[in-house]
Structure 1
Amino acid sequence: MTMLDSPIEESIAEVAAQLEAEFAAFADFTERVGHVLSLGRRLPRLAPEDCCEDNRVKGCQSQVWVVAEHDADQDRMRLALDSDAMLMRGLLAMVLRLYGDRRPDEILAYSPEVVERLLVGRSLAPSRANGLYLVVKRIRAAAAAASDGRQMAQEA
């Protein structure tokens, strides 16, 4: 699984603002799509064994896989995302910038509607927008499970 070497110091809101600024710099739709495709080409591929049915996000137009693990020692969500479609890979790279290597409570505190506005507001087809929504939902569910597990351990 691909992980960042150190925790991210910028908040999710700050990263979202950076992404907004990146896309505002492009004059037209074609340039924005080119940027998303470029991000997709740089996203590390999952190991073949991680591209399995358990990690597949059902309901997506393309094949999409989410590996979300909680590092209890660091209290960080370790995410790895992949797709067989380059445009979706670019969108996943953006999701990874927002949510990767975050504490579960950070992920849960940040409104998924803001993520949708940021990413889906990029003129996505409804089926891709739905796929992206399902990816974010899966990440939030993993963060909620990690948060619940941590609370149960503290109460014991």
Structure 2
Amino acid sequence: MTAPEALQWSVDNCTIQRSLEIMGDRWSLIVLREVFQGIRRFDDMTVRTSIPRQVLTARLRRLVDDGILRKEPYRVPGQRERHEYRLTEKGLNLYPVLIALQEWGNRYLADPAGPPIEFAHRDCGEPVHLVVRCAAGHDLTGSREVVGRIGPGAVRRATPAAVGD
């Protein structure tokens, strides 16, 4: 049996793996869902998500440290200064990830009545759907139309992989 060519290449610098190191736990994605829905204050997030306070604090700190969210100060009269969490450009660029997760969930996991949250085009109000398109402009309608391949940043493994590794 011939080993797949991909085994000859390292995945140490894989951008999917690096992305998951930041976004790979469910709480980070739930926090982003809330911020995209306009829930920006810590106490509001705890009410809507039931994320334990310590976990939410850690996730918000991580998302701020990674440049996905930024802290914006606010003060309710008579109270101490607090912070809202706003999306940075890097955070806004995660919208397609949430839409992809939602579309998959809507297809396989939604209640019979439908999903509880929708994403809509701000100008016309119609639902937003993710479109997969190649660089030549072809819309892809099925996952079998996509193939993985070695990219320009690929690094050959120091030791070739043996079959069965």
TM-score, normalized by the shorter chain, greater than 0.5: no
TM-score by length of 2: 0.27
**TM-score when normalising by structure 1:** 0.28
Greater helix fraction, Structure 1 or Structure 2? 1
